[in-house]
Amino acid sequence: MGKKLKIAIAIPTYNRLEKLKFALSKIEAQEIDDRFELYCVISNIASTDGTTEFLNQLSHKNINYVTWNKPEENIYLNWRRCSEAIPEDVDWVWLNGDDDFLTNDQVIKGLVNVIEQNTCLETSLIHICQARRSRKTGRIIKDNLFDLCNQLGYHEILGWMSSLVVRCDQFKVAIDFATAPVIEYPNPVDHIKFKISVYPHSAGLLRVCANDKALFVDEPWVEPQEEQQSEESIARWAESFHGDRYFFVIDDLLAMYDEGLLKKKCRLNFFRYLNYSFWDRYATFLIQQLVHNGFLSELNKEHLSSLHKISELLENPRENKIFLQWYTLLCMQVVQYEKAHQEVTNLQNQLVAQFDLTQSHTYTFEVLNEQSGIFD
């Protein structure tokens, strides 16, 4: 019998005690065999819902629990603390959201099978498909990470945190990079000022592992606890300006090209976002802002202008031409809408003035009045 694999499930948690308990119940239900040891590393630095007290008494006979359970002012340290708490001799880290869960008790054994059967000494990252999006074929696609993103989509491979299983040393380097800006600038307003994207962990992993082997595993092993995004999650996203920070994904990618970390350009598929594309999402956000306000703010005009940079990333000239035509049309529509809205606003102001004029009194209220001439 060789050395046992050490696998850690890493969960940064914040004020989701009941969901965390459910997630941990699925981890504790995992069947453990003599090929591996299972760790569960949980960081909690700001919860106020009883999570701290719960973690203080957490233990299990088959799971090696490791917790970072100390209050800190900067909530954005949570991911960094989770990474730091992972023992150095762990082989693989599976990042999990506190509102997600493993779908059956054979998941970790299945992951170990994948690691053992796919020459993973050369592999740095394994993507486990979200259960509701899996075709359940058991198929494994192997490529270097950048090419896998080019084939299936950057967001699809690296966006959802609970799909990511990463070699421990590379995980720690990627999370250090991803968390550095938000630790330095903890105010969410500064995340806009300094263009901190909504997917810093994705950028960190692509930086570290772009040219390394990666696997896509079409197995339904992990799933969100909510069918749809919860109101609580929507509120968190709004507080952190997620809508604006999607645009900074473009800046993440351009920085990697400028630094020579990425050599090849992107296919259209690279920009896949669920069942449409990143620029569809960008356009949706801008159109909503435009229709709601009647115009684009200076920040949203910057967002619109930044979309042109996507053309610098596209590999295929024909696809680039189609994108630029789409972008030009969007810009024209924005200008036309703002002009039309201003014209309607001006007309509305004229009508209001006309309405106010019609409401001014021409006569006194009494029937007999001086304007009638009767008193002449």
pLDDT greater than 80 at residue 1: no
Give me the residue spans of the domains in the chain.
Answer: 5-274, 280-358
Q: Which CATH class is domain 5-274?
A: alpha beta
Residue 100 has a pLDDT of 97
- Rounded to whole angstroms, how far apart are CA atoms 17 and 307? 39
Q: Give the predicted TM-score (pTM) of the model.
A: 0.91
- Rounded to whole angstroms, how far apart are CA atoms 56 and 77? 20
**Strand pairing category for 213-224 and 100-102:** antiparallel
pLDDT digits over 186-211, tens only?
Answer: 888 889 999 999 999 999 999 999 99
- Rounded to whole angstroms, how far apart are CA atoms 121 and 115? 9
pLDDT digits over 338-352, tens only?
Answer: 999 999 999 999 999
pLDDT greater than 90 at residue 337: yes
Residue 373 has a pLDDT of 66
- The torsion angle over the Cα atoms of residues 259, 170, 310 and 153, rounded to 10 degrees, is 150
